[in-house]
Amino acid sequence: MVLRLFNLLQGSNDAPVARDAIKSILRLPHISFVSEVGREQILHHIRFSIDYLRRSGLLDSQGNPINLFGVAAHLYYTEPSNVALVALMRHGVIHRICNQASFISAKHEMMLLFSHLFGRRYLPKVYASSQFLKAITRKSPSKVVLPPLPKDARKVLLEHEDHIRRVFTGYAQAYVAHHSAELGQDAQLPLSRKTLCPTVSATDTTPFAEHLRRTAISSTVRSPFVAASGHSDNFRSVKELSDTSRDGLHVNVHAIPTMRQFTAVLGKEGGDSDEFALNAYLLDFFTHGQTAALRTANGIRDGEMWYVLQDFSLTLKTIRTGLVQLLQKAAAAEASKAGSVAGDEISELDSGYGTMGTADPAEADPDAEGAEQGGFKRPVGVSDRDWKVYEVVDAVTAEFDEKFRAMWA
């Protein structure tokens, strides 16, 4: 939401009506009718969301959307998958996949990565048991269970998760520090609301009180009922921050783009025991294109098959369109080096969002779009590595769309 608000300001050239619309949103007493989060906490959350977007390279110092903003904004409905895709592109994982010696291997690994990020569907533990899978896969071309995420991709997402945790832990600490008087001491039990354990008086100089003050673990964000077990404000994950924060501090894990769902490991020592196996229906369909196999092996029902495949097809087209705009921006940046003032303005300010076309990919005519993308030529100044990314994504999109159309042609 924050990223799209900044795009509204930029797209309207900072028009008064856009500023007034944003101010009206920020003046709301609560974020929704059922939320207890007040206006001050919303403003703090937005402030640290802006900090996160700047560190992620999606906003410049003036608040203008830049770089991969177009891709992230058009895939807003897939959050946090869009944020994960941007992180992987910025750290070179996408380029590494696409610049393999084998084009077929590049397409398969790219499809595997997309299957981890978008259209995620979990398999029941009983369904994903080795005995059950062995019986199914013997008669079907489907793998059923999605293979693990590439190691370098998982490493990047783990680092990004740690970055997110630090940013929003800072948000929680800043909010508690600024509103300590309003929040007061967190000494009430969560259900009965009974007050326990009054603070030890500073004038109490007994040896026991002195020992407690000397050995106390400092904790302002974490609930004292959890901190009593020896935990400080060093959180291991965003979920832990959300689950163990003090009373009066509302940290919603669903409002923070955590990467945990992408990095969780299944069935290995030290893995996440509560993690379910991912359904490989998208990768399987890309491999064999058989809807009957998706029905019998992957468990995709007839009533939902067309919709889940269409959603993923539109996601691929959105990513491809975003890459087209990025390549055009790269060409414009090269032109600006030759003294083009207009090109310089585009390279600094154009996010690619406004130039991606007025029509949403979901509303575009499939035949017209295919012709348009097929005619896209390599812009001048685009590097071989960047162009290879477009070629692989375009090939994956075209191949998946061809098999998708065949099922309803």
* Among the listed residues 43, 42, 77, 47, the one whose alpha carbon sits nearest the alpha carbon of residue 59: 47
Structural domain containing residue 384: 65-148+278-406
User: Residue 401: inside a domain, yes or no?
Assistant: yes
* Contact in structure between 257 and 75 (CB atoms under 8 Å): no
Q: How many CB atoms lie within 10 A of CB 95?
A: 16
By the 10 Å C-beta count (0-12 exposed, 13-18 middle, 19+ buried), 271 is classed as: exposed
Structure tokens at 200: 């030890």
φ, ψ for residue 145, nearest 5 deg: -95, 130
Residues 306 and 398 reside in one and the same domain: yes
Q: In the numeric block, which tokens belong to residue 205?
A: 């100089």
Q: Is residue 344 part of a domain?
A: yes
What global pTM score does this model have? Answer: 0.80
- Does residue 46 fall inside a structural domain? no
**One domain, residues 288 and 357:** yes
* Nearest alpha-carbon partner for 283 in 136, 396, 362: 396
Q: Give me 69's structure tokens.
A: 């903003």
CA distance 368 to 301: 30
The total number of structural domains in the chain stands at: 2
Is the domain of 291 the same as that of 240?
Answer: no
Neighbours of 230 (CB within 10 A): 8
Does residue 230 share a domain with residue 284?
Answer: no
The Cα 230–Cα 212 span in angstroms is 13
Looking at the domain assignment, is residue 11 inside a domain? no
Residues 6+ apart with CB under 8 A from 65: 3, 6, 7, 10, 58, 59, 73, 351, 353
Rounded Cα distance, 44 and 175, in Å:
7
User: Domain check: are 372 and 227 in the same one?
Assistant: no
d(CA 293, CA 210): 70
Q: Within this chain, do residues 177 and 227 fall inside the same structural domain, yes or no?
A: yes
Q: Is residue 97 part of a domain?
A: yes
Distances (CA, A) of 218 to 7, 172, 178, 221, 231: 40, 15, 17, 10, 9
Residue 30 lies in a domain: no
Same domain membership, residue 249 and residue 285: no
Q: Tokens 């020992």: give the residue.
A: 211
One pLDDT digit (tens) per residue for the chain, 409 residues: 777 777 777 778 878 888 888 777 777 665 554 555 566 677 777 777 888 888 888 888 887 887 788 888 889 889 899 999 999 999 999 999 999 999 999 999 999 999 999 999 998 888 878 888 888 888 899 999 999 999 999 999 999 999 999 888 888 888 888 877 777 777 777 777 777 665 555 566 788 878 877 777 778 888 878 877 778 888 888 888 888 888 777 777 877 888 988 988 765 544 454 567 899 999 999 999 999 999 999 999 999 999 999 999 999 999 999 899 888 887 777 777 665 444 444 444 444 444 444 444 444 444 444 434 456 888 888 889 999 999 999 999 999 999 999 987 6
